[in-house]
């Protein structure tokens, strides 16, 4: 009898402990709950500084600031509001990489150190030494041209393009930000689950954290573009940031394995190419490390034109910034007659498309269907202010 009572007491204790944790950690349901900065002892001037720095760039569409699961600040450009979509560009890499962690937990993938060839039959050549970890850490050694395979974006069948990319150097020797690595992640997920990555993302993550209004883009042949292109609101992007800030747990449901989150939020590459800032940035499992010093540690998902989800896990702060976007209907790319052109100079091609659109020879949304950032959404000052913005975010937690 005592044993039964002791067991019951242990069960009740676990329930009370769980309830206490659930009360301490706020999670948004249909709407974010709000609190003022003063309720967290954060000087409102610090938030204003962070937001002002972000909006010095006219490309900024919206910023959202989350503390302990509460919305404590947001700002929108004229003509945009909390329901306005932004597009992720490469922030999507962090989203789809999370599915690898889930597949590890479910036993669909045995190890990050498995070779890609274990799951993809066409990696039975010189590429057979590449591991899943190499893909996620951008160290695959696969061919890396000047355009970083961004020209893949203009292909009707992007997976066919990916399969043709050979080896260039030994893996795990050099950081190279290669979009092919991320498309291969999608194909691995398809092989081990029988489902496309966009379906998995909805079922295994979005449905569980309350992201119900989003567009997940595929190419013209139905391949999920797992290196880019998720459309949603800044508030919903922030939910994904909160999931990782909470070690992959959402209101008691371990959505992404905590071990995988911990490994993600570790430093693999302590420095990466200084494309537009002298700030030392690291990289790990498809996430960037923007700050890692005595003042704090901030990780982020990052997109081409200045889209960011910054996560300060130690202080449970999420800061999301997206750029101006003009969404179009549909979720499948269609380049029309342009798909027959062989594109090598990506920037030149983007300018040609914009000129053709401006003079009326093509109509975007009619002749072309694709996620697209116009010049009004391309960042400049945000990059100039990048170090100040990161420091301003870290400063939120300092008295």
Break the chain into its structural domains and give their ranges: 44-332+369-395
Q: How far is CA 61 from CA 45, 58, 217, 325, in A?
A: 21, 8, 21, 8
Tell me how far apart the alpha carbons of residues 297 and 284 are, in angstroms, rounded to a whole number: 13
* Phi and psi torsions of 188, nearest 5°: -60, -45
In tens, the pLDDT along 27-59 reads 998 899 999 999 999 999 999 999 999 999 999
The stretch 312-326 carries a mean pLDDT of 97
In tens, the pLDDT along 111-149 reads 999 999 999 999 999 999 999 999 999 999 999 988 888
pLDDT at 16 over 50: no
Region of residue 166 (phi > 0: left; psi between -120 and 50: alpha; otherwise: beta): beta
Lowest-pLDDT range of 75-89, 120-134, 147-161, 243-257: 147-161
Confidence of residue 270 (pLDDT cuts 50, 70, 90): low
Q: In this predicted structure, what is the pLDDT of residue 337?
A: 82
Confidence of residue 275 (pLDDT cuts 50, 70, 90): low
Eight-state DSSP code of residue 69: T
Question: Residue 388 class from Cβ within 10 Å (0-12 exposed, 13-18 middle, 19+ buried)?
Answer: middle
* Phi and psi torsions of 108, nearest 5°: -75, -30
Q: In this predicted structure, what is the pLDDT of residue 7?
A: 43
Q: What is the pTM of this model?
A: 0.91
Of residues 15 and 188, more confidently modeled:
188
Q: In this predicted structure, what is the pLDDT of residue 30?
A: 86
Tell me how far apart the alpha carbons of residues 336 and 355 are, in angstroms, rounded to a whole number: 16
Of residues 210 and 350, more confidently modeled:
210
* CA angle at 314 for the pair 308 and 318, rounded to the nearest 5°: 30
In tens, the pLDDT along 196-225 reads 999 999 999 999 999 999 999 999 999 999
Tell me how far apart the alpha carbons of residues 18 and 253 are, in angstroms, rounded to a whole number: 11
Confidence of residue 375 (pLDDT cuts 50, 70, 90): very high
Q: In this predicted structure, what is the pLDDT of residue 19?
A: 39
Residues above pLDDT 90, as percent of the chain: 76
pLDDT at 262 over 70: yes
CB 253 within 8 A of CB 202: no
Confidence of residue 342 (pLDDT cuts 50, 70, 90): confident
Which helix (H) or strand (E) segment holds residue 391: the answer is helix 386-395
| Number of residues that this document lists for the chain | 399
Q: In this predicted structure, what is the pLDDT of residue 9?
A: 38
CATH superfamily name and code, 44-332+369-395: DD-peptidase/beta-lactamase superfamily (3.40.710.10)
Which helix (H) or strand (E) segment holds residue 350: the answer is helix 346-358
Which helix (H) or strand (E) segment holds residue 62: the answer is strand 60-67
């Amino acid at each position: 009898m005592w044993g039964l009572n002791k067991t019951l007491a242990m069960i009740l204790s676990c329930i009370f402990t769980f309830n206490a944790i659930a009360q301490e950690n706020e999670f948004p349901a249909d709407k974010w709950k709000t609190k003022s900065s003063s309720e967290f002892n954060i000087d409102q001037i610090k938030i204003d500084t962070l937001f002002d720095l972000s909006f010095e760039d006219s490309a900024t569409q919206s910023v959202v600031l989350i503390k302990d699961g509460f919305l404590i600040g947001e700002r929108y450009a004229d003509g945009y509001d909390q329901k306005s979509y932004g597009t992720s560009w490469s922030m999507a890499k962090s989203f789809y990489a999370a599915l690898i962690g889930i597949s590890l937990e479910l036993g669909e993938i045995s190890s990050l150190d498995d070779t890609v060839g274990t799951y993809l039959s066409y990696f039975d050549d010189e590429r057979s030494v590449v591991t899943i970890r190499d893909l996620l850490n951008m160290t695959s050694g696969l061919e890396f041209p000047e355009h970083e395979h961004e020209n893949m974006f203009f292909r009707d069948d992007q997976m066919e393009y990916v399969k043709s990319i050979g080896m260039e150097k030994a893996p795990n020797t050099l950081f190279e930000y290669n979009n092919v690595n991320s498309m291969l992640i999608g194909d691995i997920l398809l092989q081990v689950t029988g489902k496309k990555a966009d379906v998995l993302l909805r079922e295994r993550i979005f449905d569980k954290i309350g992201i119900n209004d989003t567009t997940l883009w595929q190419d013209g042949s139905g391949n999920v573009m797992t290196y880019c292109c998720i459309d949603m609101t800044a508030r919903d992007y922030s939910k994904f940031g909160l999931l990782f800030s909470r070690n992959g747990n959402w209101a008691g449901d371990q959505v992404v394995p905590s071990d995988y989150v911990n490994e993600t939020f570790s430093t693999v590459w302590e420095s990466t190419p200084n494309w537009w800032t002298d700030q030392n940035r690291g990289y790990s499992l498809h996430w960037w490390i923007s700050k890692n010093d005595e003042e704090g540690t901030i990780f982020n998902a990052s997109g081409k034109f200045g889209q960011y989800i910054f996560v300060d896990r130690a202080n449970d702060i999420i800061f999301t910034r997206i750029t101006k976007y003009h969404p179009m209907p549909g979720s499948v790319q269609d380049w029309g007659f342009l798909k027959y052109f062989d594109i090598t100079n990506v920037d030149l091609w983007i300018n040609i498309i914009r000129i053709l659109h401006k003079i009326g020879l093509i109509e975007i949304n009619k002749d072309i269907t694709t996620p697209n950032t116009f010049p009004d959404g391309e960042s400049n000052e945000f990059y100039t202010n990048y170090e100040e913005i990161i420091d301003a975010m870290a400063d939120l937690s300092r008295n």
